[in-house]
Amino acid sequence: MKAVVLVGGEGTRLRPLTFTTPKPLLSIANQPHLERQLLWLASHGVDEVVLSMGYLPDAFHEHFKPDGAGHDLFGDIVIRYAIEDEPLGTAGAVRFAAEGIDERFIVCNGDVLTALDLDAMVRFHDEHGAEATISLTQVDDPSAFGVVPTQDDGGVIAFVEKPAPGKAPSNWINAGTYVVEPAFLERIPPRLNVSVERETFPRMLAEPGLLFGYKSDAYWLDIGTPEKYLEAHADALAGRLSNPPAPGAREITAGVWVQGDATIEPDARIEAPVLIGAGARIEAGARVHASVLGSAAVVEARAELERAVLHNGARVSHGSSVRDSVVGAYAVLKPDVSLTAETIIGASATVPSGTRISGGRVPAERG
């Protein structure tokens, strides 16, 4: 089975992290999100994936081998590339990337983390004779999403984009994974900017019996905001994504996971849940709680992490604190810095001593 994964977005809400790294390649608990997604697809029989790209395509080429066996992690799965010269929208991107596919295939958004049972969704699709099936997930407040009310048999009735609070006809939203037949592609004009959610799917409602919604209560999260990106790490630490939370991690005490030869000095306070990457160092007198440290990250004496994410090579100097915030790869917090309220520090940036930032953004150091 083949799949198209839409990874062309610029990830504006996660800037400055996404100035240097495409959102799908940002790590979730020390593993690139896209790797998690490909492993999920492979577990459901997908053996060929087309990455539909537009933004920072070279980063994907550097991470995966072009037009080949992709990565040892994924076994025999073949990874191919479709690079847009200009933005084509979600439908246009699918049409462009799926050129030559003449069988039923999967489409998924590159910013969705999910445990959806794709096998069950495909069976539902076949049983209903659908041309396209949309995965649906239930949320408490659908006002920020595209709501998809359905009939009892799953037939889609309407699409309601970001309804006012309390006005939504349903709490079931478009979860960003689709099963489609080759005929679906004929509905999308080639080389035009077209939205599958706002144009292609709604137009199909004129022909009843072709478009269905598949409801699932499986884990689902859109990682596209700082809040949700941090939530994804918390979910990984809680075991909601996998066990162990990252490849090669070993549990040294309850809820404390270590990859490789990390160093935890005596008198460092490690309070579960915590994931510590290979080569990372936590010095005596530091406190780390509910946090993820990337490889070679350093937490110096008297520094504190609370629900923090440090990317590879990040350094938090003595006396600094990071709470509910993200420090990009090889960024340095000088002594006595305080980060709170979903602050994001870009890759290789340096934050001067004594700085206090709440909900801020520090740009990546441009090379």
Q: How far apart are CA 203 and CA 329, in angstroms?
A: 44
- Can you give the pLDDT at residue 86? 85
Write down the CATH number for the domain with range 2-224.
3.90.550.10
244: preceding bond cis by omega (within 30 degrees): yes
- Can you give the pLDDT at residue 165? 81
The pLDDT of residue 113 is above 60: yes
Element (H, E) at 147: strand 146-147
Phi then psi for residue 40, to 5 deg, are: -60, -45
The domains of the chain are located at 2-224, 229-362
314 versus 76: the higher-pLDDT residue is: 314
Paired sense of beta strands 112-114 and 220-222, if any: antiparallel
- Tell me, rounded to whole angstroms, the distance of Cα 180 from its chain centroid: 22
pLDDT band of 70, cuts 50, 70, 90: very low
Q: How far apart are CA 165 and CA 143, in angstroms?
A: 5
DSSP calls for 101-130: --S-EEEEETTEEE---HHHHHHHHHHTT-
- Single-letter amino acid code for the residue at 270: I
List pLDDT tens digits, range 229-278: 999 999 999 999 988 999 899 999 999 999 999 999 999 999 999 999 99
Does residue 343 sit in helix, strand or coil?
coil
Architecture in CATH for domain 229-362:
3 Solenoid (2.160)
Q: How far apart are CA 307 and CA 213, in angstroms?
A: 36
- Can you give the pLDDT at residue 68? 45
The pLDDT of residue 111 is above 50: yes
In this prediction, residues 21-35 reach a mean pLDDT of 95
List pLDDT tens digits, range 314-326: 999 999 999 999 9
Residue 163 is classified by DSSP as P
In this prediction, residues 138-150 reach a mean pLDDT of 89
CA angle 108, 240, 229 (to 5 degrees): 60
pLDDT band of 297, cuts 50, 70, 90: very high
